[in-house]
């Protein structure tokens, strides 16, 4: 009788092959689900950063152009009722006169007076389709409509880096 109890104790100590395969299978499924979740989370984070980059730069450029327009004395180009790819403003300070906004090599730039052009967008986005439309009417302060598109650079062709947005705004000269 002592031998049977000893034999029963020996067989109940380890795992069977089926139990081991079941545990490995469950662990593998849990690891796969965790990996997929983390991968989706990372892609979502990258997409949000891409959108934020384009949004921030677009809003910053729009604010700089509208602020310069509001503080200007007059709109030199484009002429009333016309559209152009550059905006020339007659400003109060002689050093900054004229102030010109334009697009060159996919970068929106500002040139103040005789100084060299300063880029308003960085190398992570490309700008395109910039138009300035002079909506001014006689006996009113000048009004300009601004439109441009910013696209995030996507050298690897990955979906999470695909994002473009068109920004539209307007600014009116302040009355002196």
- Bridge partners of 103, per DSSP, are 108
DSSP 3-state of 51: helix
Buried b (16+ CB within 10 A) or exposed e, 113-138: eeeeeeebbeeebbbeebbbbbebee
Cα separation values, 49 from 26, 56, 79, 108, 162, Å: 35, 10, 39, 21, 11
**Strand partners for 168:** 147
Question: Mind listing the pLDDT tens digit of every residue in the chain (176 residues)?
Answer: 445 555 555 556 777 889 889 999 999 999 999 999 998 888 889 889 999 999 999 999 999 999 999 999 889 889 888 999 999 998 887 777 899 999 999 999 999 988 999 999 999 999 999 999 999 887 778 899 999 999 999 888 887 888 999 999 999 998 65
The token pair at 171 is 């600014």
The backbone region for 144, taken as left when phi is positive above 0, alpha when psi lies in -120 to 50, beta otherwise, is: beta
Contacts of 90 (CB under 8 A, 6+ apart): 72, 73, 74, 75, 76, 97, 98
Q: What is the pLDDT of residue 23?
A: 92
Give 13-28 as a DSSP string.
SS--HHHHHHHHHHHH
At residue 57, φ and ψ (nearest 5 deg) are -65, -40
What is residue 80's predicted lDDT score, i.e. its pLDDT? Answer: 87
> Among the residues of the chain, which ranges form H helices?
2-11, 17-70
pLDDT of residue 79: 87
Give the model's pLDDT for residue 138: 79
């Amino acid at each position: 009788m002592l031998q049977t109890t000893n034999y029963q104790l020996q067989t109940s100590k380890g795992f069977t092959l089926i139990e081991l395969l079941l545990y490995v299978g469950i662990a593998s499924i849990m690891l796969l689900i965790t990996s997929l979740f983390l991968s989706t989370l990372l892609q979502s984070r990258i997409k949000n950063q891409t959108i934020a980059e384009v949004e921030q730069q677009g809003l910053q450029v729009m604010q700089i152009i509208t602020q310069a327009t509001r503080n200007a004395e007059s709109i030199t180009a484009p002429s009333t009722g016309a559209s152009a790819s550059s905006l020339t403003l007659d400003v109060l300070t002689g050093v900054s006169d004229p102030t010109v906004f334009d697009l060159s090599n996919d970068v929106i730039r500002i040139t103040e007076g005789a100084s060299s052009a300063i880029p308003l967008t960085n190398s992570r986005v490309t700008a395109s389709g910039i138009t300035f439309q002079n909506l001014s009417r006689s006996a009113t302060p000048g009004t300009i409509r601004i439109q441009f598109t910013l696209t995030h650079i996507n050298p690897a062709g990955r979906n999470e880096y695909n994002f473009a947005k068109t920004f539209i705004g307007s600014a009116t000269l302040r009355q002196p």
